[in-house]
Amino acid sequence: MFLAAVGFWNFLGAGIFGFMINPPIALYYMQGLNTTAVHAHGALYGVYGTLGLGLMLFCLRAMQPEVIWKHRPIWLAFWAINIGLMLEILLSLLPVGLLQTYQSVSAGYWSARSPEFLQTELMQTLRWMRMIGDTIFAVGAIAFVYFALNLMLRQRVARVAVRTDITAETV
């Protein structure tokens, strides 16, 4: 699942959002606005962060192939991380970036980054909307850590129990 998400975020974050900000005319008006953060979140975490989580799962499976995994926490982690990241982008970063771009084109780049524009009621609301995605993303991160720690600690307890049985039988 995580490797499929890499393909999705590579297409959306690096492809679509990257193309949105990288043509020369777009760079002139958009560089350094929240549209750059849209591309950065989608491409950097969406691709490399998700790839890292997927590779970690491959390593955990290879290290202990006999262990039966509890799939519920990893399923929750996958969907919460990806939905949370998408909500961060769609509810906050992209709308703020597009409004900044409009302001940059109509009034100048300086205006799009000015406190007078960024501290408006609408911009404040859009920035706070990011908390929805952040919270869902955090639930996914906690679920992933829980899964990994549970896997490692469960194995440690099982090994101690096996060693105790072996020692008791040999005595």
Q: What is the 3-state secondary structure (H, E, C) of the chain?
A: CHHHHHHHHHHHHHHHHHHHHCCHHHHHHHCCCHHHHHHHHHHHHHHHHHHHHHHHHHHHHHHCCCCCCCHHHHHHHHHHHHHHHHHHHHHHHHHHHHHHHHHHHHHCHHHHCCHHHHCCHHHHHHHHHHHHHHHHHHHHHHHHHHHHHHHHHHHHHHHHHHHHHHHHHHC
- Rounded to whole angstroms, how far apart are CA atoms 124 and 96? 10
Domain 2-170: CATH superfamily, name plus number? Cytochrome c oxidase-like, subunit I domain (1.20.210.10)
Cβ atoms of residues 97 and 33 within 8 Å:
yes
Of the pLDDT bands very low, low, confident and very high (cuts 50, 70, 90), residue 46 is confident
Answer yes or no: is pLDDT of 33 > 80. Answer: yes
Report the pLDDT averaged over residues 48-56: 93
**Mean pLDDT, the chain, integer:** 88
Say yes or no to pLDDT of 103 above 90. Answer: yes
Q: Is the pLDDT of residue 105 over 80?
A: yes
Whole-model pTM: value is 0.83
Tell me what pLDDT residue 165 has. Answer: 54
pLDDT in tens, 132-160: 999 999 999 999 999 999 888 876 555 55
Q: How many residues are listed for the chain in this entry?
A: 171
Distance CA 95, CA 107 (A): 18
Residue range 56-75: mean pLDDT, rounded: 89
Residue 170 is predicted with a pLDDT of: 56
